[in-house]
Amino acid sequence: MNTRSKRPNDFRHLTLDSPSTSHQRCREPKLFPKSSNTLSPPAKVLLSSGKCYRPPGRFCLDLPLDTLRTASPVFSYHPMPAIKAQFASIHSLSAGTGAPSLAEIISALSFALDLTEGAVPGHALRCCLLGMRLGNELGFSNESLADLYHALLLKDVGCSSNAARMCQIIGGGDDRAVKSGVKLEDWTRPHQPSLSSVRLLWNSVLPDGNPFRKFGRIVKIAFTQHDNNREMIQLRCDRGASIVRKIGMSEQTALAVRSLDEHWDGGGYPESEKGEAISPLARVMAVAQHLDVFALERGPAQAMQILHERSGRWFDPQVVKAAESLRRRGALWMQCLPNPTQTAGDSARSVRASVLELAPPQTTRTSPSHIDLICEAFAEVVDAKSHFTFSHSIGVTDVASAIGSTMGHNSERRQLIHRAALLHDLGKLSVPNSILDKPGKLDGEQWVIMREHAALTRSILSRVSQFRELAFVAGAHHERLDGSGYPNKLKAADLPIEARILAVADVYSAITENRPYRAGSSPEQAMEIMKREARSKLDADCVDALAKTALAPSQPSPFLVPPASAHSLSRAYHLPYPIHNSGSSISIVQ
C-alpha cells in the first residue's frame, strides 16, 4: 500500500504499539508503513498529537482513516455512525447512575495532565499504583495513604503553568518533548552532560535555527540552568499546590505536590529541602514517578539500577529499599509494564480499574458543587498553558452560561453547559506551545495537531460514565451546523442546543480575546463578524441570545477584555514580535 499517494487530510498521525515487544525507539517523527500487514490487528492505536511519545515498543505512523476505524484506540477515534448513534441516545445518557466518585473524576482527568507532560498516557495512574504499593510497604497510616492517593493522581496538575516559559527558553521547540526527555536526564550534574541530554537539547532548541544559533542557545541554557530550573519548578509546584487546595484536598496532599521535585540531598527545587524535611509523601511520589518514566522508556531493570544509583542523592534510601523489597517479591511492577497480550486501550482500562479499587473510602460520591469546583480547577489548568488563553475557558463559560439563561434553559441544562464550557479545551493540553503561541498562521501539520484537541477533550471526559453527555457537548464545540467543523463534521441534525451554545460562546470569546497574531475585537465588531459569516455555521437563535447579552446598552459587556494597542500587548506578554489588530480577517471555523 502506497500511503504517500493519499491526500494529507485522509491521515492521522499516530503512535502505535510495535509488533515487536523489544525496546524499539522511534528515531523518526514519521514513518510510512511498507505494507498493510503492518497495520493489521492487533495494531493498537494511540492517538497522539503529532509527536511520538516514544515509549518502548511503540512507533509513529501516518495512517489512513480507514485503518483507524477498525483499530482499537486508547484515545478513541469516533467514526460518524458511532457519533450519530450516540447523539440519538444522548438524552438517555444524561440521567446517569448517580454522582461519580472523586477518584473516578480525577483519575480520568489525569490523562489530560499526562498530555501536558508529554508522558505516556496512563502515567499518573501507573504512578498511583506504584506509589500506593510503596506507601503500604512503608507502613503509612490510612490517612496518609488517602493523601498520597490524591497527590499521585494530581502531581502534575500545575504542569501547564510553565509550558509557555519552557517554550520560550528553548526558542520555540516542543515543550512537551523536552519535559518528558528531561525526566530521563540527571540535570543535577550539568558539568557531566550525557550524550542523550545533548541530543535532546540539539533536537529541541531553536528547531528552525542554524547550527551556530542552536549552539549559542544551548550554551546559554547550560549557564542559566540553575535559575531556569528553580523558576520552572517553582511555577509548577506553587500552581499545583494551589489547585489541590482549591479542590478541597488536604494540606498534606498540597505539600506533597509542591515538594515533588525536592531531592534527598537538598539538590532539588523549589526550596532545596533536605532529607526528612521533605514531605514523606513527596519522597514516595518522586520514586514512583522515576520508576514509571524509566521502566517505560528504558525497561524495568534500568529503572531499578538508576534508582539505586540515585539513592541518598535524589531519593530517600528507605523508599528505595521498599521498592527493592517489592520488586524481589514480584509485587512492584504488576500492571505497570507494557503487556504484549493486551491492547493499549485494554491496558489503560485495567490500570484505571485497579486505581479505582484503591480509592480511599471517603471519596465515594462527589457533590454537584464539588464537581463544579473540579471543573473550574481544570479550566484553570487549561488556561494557564498559554498567555493568550489565560482566561479563555472561564470566559467561554461566562458567555455560554449567559446565553443559556437568556434562552431560558433549566438549571440542569445550564449546569451541563457550564461544565462543558469549563472543560471544552481540555485536549489543548496536548498541543505544544510552539503552536498555541505561534505569532503567525499555522501550517498544515500544525493545524492537524491543533484540531485533535476537540476529539481528545471528548475522549478524556468519556472515561467518566456519568460525563458522557458532557463529553459529547464539550467535544463538539468546533462542529458547525453546515458540517464544516471538526472533529466529526457533524451537521445541524446531529448537534444538540447545548453544543450550539458552546460553539457560539467559543467563537465570540476567540474573536474578542487577544491572540499572538492579532488583538481582540470589540463586542460590536465580534457580533458583526459572527452575524455576517456565521449564518450557515452557527445557530441563529444562540447568536441572537448572545447579542442581547453582549450588547445590552445598560451595562458594559460582561465578557470582554478591552482590546489593547499592539505595542502594549507585545510589551505585556514580553513578546519579541508585534500583535496586529486584524479582527476582520478572523475565521470563525478555527
Return all residues near 274 (Cβ < 8 A) that are at least 6 apart.
264, 265, 266
> Which region among 208-216, 286-294, 335-343, 422-430 touches Fe ion (by CB under 5 A)?
422-430
> Which region among 187-195, 215-223, 407-415, 499-507 touches Fe ion (by CB under 5 A)?
499-507
* Closest distance of CB 422 from Fe ion, Å: 11
Question: What is the crossing angle of helices 102-117 and 368-383, to 10°?
Answer: 0
* Closest distance of CB 452 from Fe ion, Å: 11
* Number of residues lying near Fe ion (CB under 5 A): 2
List Cα–Cα distances, 237 to 201, 233, 261, in angstroms: 24, 6, 8
Nearer to Fe ion, 326 or 543 (CB): 543
The amino acid that residue 524 corresponds to is: E
* Closest distance of CB 509 from Fe ion, Å: 7
C-alpha cell at 429: 493540553
The amino acid that residue 442 corresponds to is: L
> Which region among 68-76, 205-213, 440-448, 501-509 touches Fe ion (by CB under 5 A)?
501-509
Quote the DSSP letter at residue 63: E
- Identify residues 200-259 at the interface with Fe ion (CB under 5 A): none
Nearer to Fe ion, 132 or 511 (CB): 511
Task: Look at the block and give the residue holding cell 517554550.
Answer: 167
What span, in angstroms and rounded, lies between the C-alpha atoms of 334 and 528? 58
* Closest distance of CB 388 from Fe ion, Å: 11
Q: Would you say 378 and 112 are in contact if contact means Cβ atoms under 8 Å apart?
A: yes
What span, in angstroms and rounded, lies between the C-alpha atoms of 385 and 381? 7
Question: Of 9, 126, 12, 26, which Cα lies nearest the Cα of 76?
Answer: 12
* Closest distance of CB 520 from Fe ion, Å: 14
Nearer to Fe ion, 352 or 419 (CB): 419
> Which region among 6-14, 441-449, 503-511, 572-580 touches Fe ion (by CB under 5 A)?
503-511
> Which region among 80-88, 367-375, 421-429, 484-492 touches Fe ion (by CB under 5 A)?
421-429
* Closest distance of CB 477 from Fe ion, Å: 6
10 Å Cβ neighbour count for 402? 20
Nearer to Fe ion, 175 or 425 (CB): 425
DSSP bridge partners of 63: 12
What span, in angstroms and rounded, lies between the C-alpha atoms of 500 and 543? 10
* Closest distance of CB 249 from Fe ion, Å: 27
What span, in angstroms and rounded, lies between the C-alpha atoms of 175 and 299? 24
Nearer to Fe ion, 174 or 506 (CB): 506
Return all residues near 152 (Cβ < 8 A) that are at least 6 apart.
124, 127, 128, 131, 132, 285, 288
First to last CA, the chain: 33
Does the active-site annotation cover 246? no
What span, in angstroms and rounded, lies between the C-alpha atoms of 521 and 523? 7
CA dihedral over 324, 325, 328, 334, signed as positive or negative: negative
Nearer to Fe ion, 296 or 490 (CB): 490
Nearer to Fe ion, 64 or 487 (CB): 487
Please tell me whether the peptide bond between 42 and the residue prior to it is cis, using omega within 30 degrees of 0.
yes
Q: Would you say 107 and 355 are in contact if contact means Cβ atoms under 8 Å apart?
A: yes
> Which region among 194-202, 209-217, 315-323, 420-428 touches Fe ion (by CB under 5 A)?
420-428
Q: Does 479 bind Fe ion (CB under 5 A)?
A: no
Which residue is catalytic, options 155, 183, 428, 438?
428
Nearer to Fe ion, 179 or 385 (CB): 385
* Closest distance of CB 382 from Fe ion, Å: 9
Q: Which of 506, 512, 523, 586 binds Fe ion (CB under 5 A)?
A: 506
Q: Which of 114, 383, 425, 513 binds Fe ion (CB under 5 A)?
A: 425
Q: Would you please indicate which residues are annotated as catalytic (active-site) residues?
A: 428
**Residues of this chain that bind Fe ion (CB under 5 A):** 425, 506
